Chain A
Amino acid sequence: MSVRVGHAAQAPEFPIAAKELVANSQLRRNVRRATDVIQAKRARVVGERPDWQQLRESARQIKQHTLENLDHYLERFEEACTRAGGKVHWARDADEANRIIVGLVQGYGEDEVIKVKTMTSDEICLNPALEAAGITPYETDLADLIVQLGEDRPSHIVVPALHRNRLEIREIFMRKMGLENLGFEPTDLTTAARQYLREKFLRVKVGISGANFAVAETGSICVVESEGNGRMCLSLPRVLISLIGIEKIVPTFQDLEVFLQLLPRSATGERMNPYNSIWTGVTPGDGPEEFHVVLLDNGRTSVLADADTRQTLACIRCGACLNTCPVYRQTGGHAYGSVYGGPIGAILTPQLQSMEHSRSLPYASSLCGACYEVCPVKINIPEVLIQLRARVVREGHSPFSERMAMKGAAFALGDEGRLSLAHALARIAQVPFRHGDHLGGLPGMLGHWTEFRDLPAVPQESFRQWWEKRGKDGPQ
């Protein structure tokens, strides 16, 4: 089995990638500005709902219940979707999903597809697989189009081009759409995208989508979007293929009443996003004639297997944790090396793919807890991060120097005599670095700490020595 999460297995470790990105002040300004705007909008519309905490709790319970009975609900979904005229395929991993989708497109004799934003397709690297088979994918979400034309990578799960400002986008559009004149205003840019894509919407015969929610009870699928590109891809082509992670199932149609309140307010700070498409199989005379669903595992069942970190799969991809995260707001999404960035990416990527390729991600957090507070489905991200840090150590993926330091500490702390000796040695070793009552400019790994923080010096007398001196009757 080959689980793949974008190009995360080849990505540099977080601290290395972050160092370079933090130096890019334009990128930091773009990310800061965009996340400030979105956070303010979110806070306003979340504040309007006196029952927000009740909605979150219901969502958490629905997701937990679904995951605990996922086999049951997957089978119900398959039955209902098939009954409504859909065809359900199963894929163990990224390669299998890509083979199924490429095979379907080729089977219909087509060499172009229009795509609605789907992070899952980025996860499995669908576009390169389509291109390798001679099929041209057109991204139709404005941000995805900016990323595709700019030969860039997504940096946010809701607004993937958040790291680009209007001037950069204008430059990409002029170059790639062959435009000699293009205004500077956002409306000029959206008009250019409308003109560029319209002909493709009307002509291309195969649409590819993801899903926000797949309803087990009815076989219905719900796609949440803003621009109308989703509706175009979901209703105009003759064939529709929806790639759906197995965790996207919700038990009943009524459960949507919880998520359709939480998602738009959390994701874009809107009471409701402009468009939701909800369809069930095929309808003769309206919409696609052929409808395929590809249910994707790609590591999700291994996440499910750990009851402590399973809650990661409850994510509805709103991106609120990214916008609020003090680490993401400094580095942007690319530092996480995965299509899933920010706090949710820091817990999802290491669990989907093997830990050895993403051992630094569980540490890409200050554990401040802001992500947990805004999460609409109450995923306790800090708790999962700590569980994963423990797993990094348990599986032997922590850096050599850290393992040695921990071994050394365990040795010294395991015996009173050795601890006293360590104290004595430290008191001597600290002399060149001592500034009053604190240490600075320590060498090697320790230098990372003292570069920005004060480390208290080892005192001349340890607690044990003080206790001994004090005598068994206490101060006289």
Chain B
Amino acid sequence: MSTTREEVLGRVRRALGGTRRSPEEIHAAHAAIQRDYQAEPTLTPEERLELFTDRLVDYDATVHPCAEAEVPATIAGILRERGKTGLLTSPAFPAAWLPDGFTFDRSPELPYEALDACEGAVTDCVLAIAVTGTIVLRHSPELGRRALSLVPDYLLCVIRAEQVVETVPEAIRRMAGLLPESLTTISGPSATADIEMTRIKGVHGPRTLEVILVG
């Protein structure tokens, strides 16, 4: 295998003409790449939240704005409305947000079949992007496995207003600091455009996405 590696790298070097630059020179050349696109925010905090909400609604996600203290009551209201008795969540999900009278399973080891059969999941997030209506999840057994927000057919996500940034570059620069844990970005419910290029909601991921926007 190592000979294949050397052969492919050798071919790359020959293709490039054999002159190799030092890592410092390469780093400097990368740093010199022109980046004139918009990276910094331009909106007021109110405009930013309004844009984020608009984008989510555009994706057919339901958005419930509420104050921090109202989170448990909001979750309870949503569950009653949808006729659900409980949800799965992660060990790290704030206990203060969970209402009484429903069951919340925090186990990070449930088999996939149990995730498939459950009534849905509730998670928090690490970041959200207003311009694209995107929610960023960070995964670990503690923070919520990748499967938790994927296999259940219903996903409720609680987002704090201060987690919402305006632009994609702002988000990516923050995400870089969250590695090596895996990250998922979610922009609306699972969808496809594979049939006649029409966006159809709901394929393999959660078919219903609901958001509580706190603060």
A304 to B39, CA, bound (A): 32
A227:B197 contact, CB within 8 angstroms: no
Number of interface residues of A (CB under 8 A): 96
A278 within 8 A of B: yes
Which of A37, A197, A198, A261 is B197 in contact with, Cβ under 8 Å? A37
A159:B193 contact, CB within 8 angstroms: yes
B168:A202 contact, CB within 8 angstroms: no
B48 within 8 A of A: no
Interface string of B1-27 (1 = CB under 8 A from A): 100110111011111100011010010
A70:B176 contact, CB within 8 angstroms: no
Residues of chain A from 248 to 293 with CB closer than 8 A to chain B in the complex: 251-254, 256-258, 260-261, 268, 270-281, 283-287
A58 to B196, CA, bound (A): 32
Given the interface pairs A276-B184, A280-B180, the reply to whether A256 lies near B204 with Cβ below 8 Å is no
Write the nearest CB–CB distance from A373 to chain B, whole angstroms: 18
Given the interface pairs A271-B55, A272-B129, the reply to whether A61 lies near B34 with Cβ below 8 Å is yes
Count class of interface residues, chain B: 35 or more
B191 within 8 A of A: yes
The main secondary structure of chain A at its interface with chain B is helix
A295 within 8 A of B: yes
A277 to B9, CA, bound (A): 28
Residues of B within 8 A of A270 (CB): 187, 199
Residues of chain A from 173 to 227 with CB closer than 8 A to chain B in the complex: 186-187, 189-191, 193-194, 197-198, 201-202, 218, 220, 226-227
Residues of A within 8 A of B169 (CB): 254, 257
Which of B11, B23, B39, B150 is A72 in contact with, Cβ under 8 Å? B23
Write the nearest CB–CB distance from A298 to chain B, whole angstroms: 10
The residue of chain B having its C-beta at the shortest distance from the C-beta of A201 within the complex is B204
B38:A254 contact, CB within 8 angstroms: no
B204:A261 contact, CB within 8 angstroms: no
Write the nearest CB–CB distance from B169 to chain A, whole angstroms: 4
A70:B186 contact, CB within 8 angstroms: no
A96:B112 contact, CB within 8 angstroms: no
Residues of A within 8 A of B196 (CB): 30, 33-34, 37, 165-166, 186
A232:B197 contact, CB within 8 angstroms: no
Residues of A within 8 A of B21 (CB): 69, 72
A71:B205 contact, CB within 8 angstroms: no
A104 within 8 A of B: no
Write the nearest CB–CB distance from B148 to chain A, whole angstroms: 9
> A residues within 8 Å of B by Cβ?
30, 33-35, 37-38, 41, 50-51, 54-55, 57-58, 61-62, 65, 68-72, 74-75, 84, 89-92, 96, 140-143, 146, 159, 161-162, 165-166, 169, 186-187, 189-191, 193-194, 197-198, 201-202, 218, 220, 226-229, 231-232, 234-236, 246, 251-254, 256-258, 260-261, 268, 270-281, 283-287, 295, 297, 301-302, 304-305
13 inter-chain pairs at a CB distance below 8 angstroms, sorted by A residue, are A41-B197, A54-B35, A57-B36, A69-B29, A74-B8, A92-B4, A143-B194, A228-B206, A229-B203, A272-B185, A275-B186, A275-B190, A275-B205
The 7 A-B pairs with the shortest beta carbon distances in the complex, nearest first, are: A228-B205, A235-B146, A228-B204, A272-B132, A285-B141, A305-B15, A227-B203
